[in-house]
Amino acid sequence: MTGPERLIRWSTVAAVTGVAVVAGWVSYEHAYEVVSAHGEGGSVARLYPVTVDGLIYAASMVLLDAARRKVDPPRMAYWLLGVGIAATVAANVLDGLGHGPLSAVIAAWPAAALVGSYEMLMLLIRGSVRRAKRNDPDPDEFRTEDDFRTDEFAADLPPEPAPVRPSRAERQALPPSEVDRDEIVASLTADILAAAAAGERWRPDYGDLETRTGYRRSWCEKAVRDARAAAARTDRTGVLA
């Protein structure tokens, strides 16, 4: 954006904002007088006009957000914007209607100026967004022919095979030497029975068992469970299972 363009833009924004502030204040006073004349008072009468102009602001911001994101604006935003504009114009007209039709037209002018200024400000913002998007550099603008050839070569390559998850047996560490599981279970069973005969409580030494077998803790725990079951059956039948 050049210097003159920037000056025009910001002077327009300042003018539109100034008109909107003055028109909004006058419109607020008119709406306040109407609300006060119809039974409301205190803080309610002061805040009531804000709901009208606030509705116009909220609906306009929804429309602006939709324009920035290049999506269809919701119909509810258009409907509420129209309701808000009609309400603020009606309030200003009612305030001046008691002094005649000409006074009603004069009183309606601030509301029209407020709505028009606000919508012009939204148009300026939308236009700046569109210009910024048009000025965004093309991602391919600074790429060389070698870059494009590299992309074509990569597109012709076959897809990489998906990684194969190793099986549970493959993930488990192999023992350093061949281990006879039945012998390990039988040895543990004998230790359990010997401890029971001596009136002692047998406790497995998993560290020693892992060292002897080369297997992990889960394998050793299962061997101990099988040994306890075999010892229990031996205790009932007198025969080592």
Angstrom distance (rounded) from CA 160 to CA 157: 9
DSSP 173: P
At 68-98, the pLDDT tens digits run 777 888 889 889 888 888 888 888 888 888 7
Residues 6 or more apart whose CB falls under 8 angstroms from that of 184 comprise 209, 212, 213, 223
Q: Is the pLDDT of residue 49 over 60?
A: yes
Angstrom distance (rounded) from CA 230 to CA 241: 6
Residue-range domain boundaries for the chain: 3-134, 172-237
Residues 6 or more apart whose CB falls under 8 angstroms from that of 88 comprise 27, 31, 52, 53, 56, 111, 114, 115
**Mean pLDDT score of the chain, rounded to an integer?**
76
Q: What is the pTM of this model?
A: 0.45
